[in-house]
Amino acid sequence: MMLIIPAIDLKEGKCVRLRQGRAAEMTVFSDDPVAMGLKWQAAGARWLHVVDLDGAFSGSPQNLAAIRALRQALQIPLELGGGLRTLGTIRAYLDLGLDRLILGTVVLKDPDLAARACAAFPGQIAFGLDAKNGRLAVEGWTETSRRTLLEVAKSLEPLRPAALIYTDIARDGVKTGVNIPATRALAEAVQLPVIASGGISSLTDIKALLPLEAVGVVGVITGRALYDGSLDLAEAIKLAQKD
């Protein structure tokens, strides 16, 4: 069954969504991330995806209080990305009880750290591959690399991360639908679980993703569509269970 994973993006302790990763285009959906997390848990979520947006831009953890509160309040597994640039930070978050951490910028900027993290914490490290026109972007999506999504994904395969989380930045927060061809190409190129992210607008997008389960797409992360009501989480989970 494909996982439908709700997202909570944290900025200054609030639950927000950005449009295509641009801090200037931010919508605040809640001042209470814990209440939002409990809502998604009650709707049937089996994982929660959390992003420290301030951390992603600054390179160090910035929303520790909110993240700790989410971990203490929820029973379901939590994965976190944003500002994870040292082994010490990674260890501290795992000690806090987070279940999986997502490394993004360090994949390109510090590949040795990515390798050491996977070796030290097997099954608890995922890699976030965020792409603009097929090329990776880092530092909170403010820098675009010359390296392609598939090139980097294949180079990471020997590290055996828990998953690759692929976001098409052009579609993130704008509800234009998931990039199905690129998601399929990634899943077919590597022998690793793939989680799709960015662009979900309705149950139609969930339905379009379900056939990719056969090639290794194990889940999809969704944010804005849940918050503005165009996607009902319980309905999406029910649809995925039927597959």
Identify the residue whose tokens are 């309705």: 202
Q: Around Cβ 170, how many Cβ atoms within 10 Å?
A: 15
- Residues annotated catalytic, as ranges: 9, 130
Which long-range contacts (C-beta less than 8 Å, at least 24 apart) are formed by 229-235? 230/175, 230/201, 230/202, 231/200, 231/201, 231/202, 231/203, 231/206, 232/203, 233/4, 233/6, 233/40, 233/43, 233/44, 233/45, 234/43, 234/44, 235/203
Angular region, 82: left φ>0, alpha ψ -120 to 50, beta rest: left
Is the dihedral angle over the CA atoms 243, 81, 162, 68 positive or is it negative? negative
